[in-house]
Amino acid sequence: MEHLKFVNMKISRKDALKGIASLPLIGALGSSESEATENRRPDKQTFRHSVCRWPYGGKTLEELCEFSVSIGIESVELINPEDFETVKSYGLTCAMVNQVPLNLTDGFNDPSLHTQLYKDYEALFPKVADAGFTNVICFSGNRREGLTEEQGIENCAIGLEPVVKKASEYGLKVVMELLNSKVDHKGYQCDHTAWGVALCEKLGLDNFKLLYDIYHMQIMEGDVIRTIRDNIDYIAHFHTGGVPGRNEIDDTQELNYKAIMEAISDLDFKGFVAQEFIPARKDVFASLKQGVDICSV
Q: What is the mean pLDDT of residues 31-56?
A: 71
More confident residue, 37 or 108: 108
**34 pLDDT exceeds 70?**
no
CA distance 227 to 180: 15
The DSSP string of 51-115 is EESGGGTTS-HHHHHHHHHHTT--EEESB-GGGHHHHHHTT-B-SSBPPSS--SSS-TT-GGGHH
Q: What is the mean pLDDT of residues 257-279?
A: 98
* Rg of the chain, C-alpha, whole Å: 18
Q: What is the mean pLDDT of residues 134-152?
A: 97
Instruction: Calculate ∠ Cα 9-14-20, nearest 5°.
Output: 115
pTM recorded for the entire structure: 0.86
| pLDDT at residue 21 in the model | 36
Could you tell me what percentage of the chain is helix, strand and coil, using 3-state DSSP and rounding each to the nearest 5?
40, 10, 45
| pLDDT at residue 43 in the model | 67
Helix (H, G, I), strand (E, B) or coil at 20: coil
Q: What is the mean pLDDT of residues 33-50?
A: 65
Confirm if 36 and 260 have CB atoms less than 8 A apart.
no
| pLDDT at residue 101 in the model | 80
| pLDDT at residue 1 in the model | 44
**63 pLDDT exceeds 70?**
yes
CA distance 106 to 141: 5
Percent of the chain having pLDDT more than 90? 84
Read off the pLDDT band of 103 (50, 70, 90).
confident
| pLDDT at residue 71 in the model | 98
**174 pLDDT exceeds 50?**
yes
**86 pLDDT exceeds 60?**
yes
| pLDDT at residue 5 in the model | 38
Confirm if 124 and 136 have CB atoms less than 8 A apart.
yes
| pLDDT at residue 205 in the model | 98
Read off the pLDDT band of 131 (50, 70, 90).
very high
| pLDDT at residue 145 in the model | 93
What the chain holds in terms of domains, given with CATH numbers, is 45-294 (3.20.20.150)
Q: pLDDT for 177-230, tens place per residue?
A: 999 999 999 999 999 999 999 999 999 999 999 999 999 999 999 999 999 999
CA distance 128 to 168: 12
Instruction: Pick the closest to residue 135 from 96, 102, 86 (CA basis).
Output: 96
| pLDDT at residue 42 in the model | 52
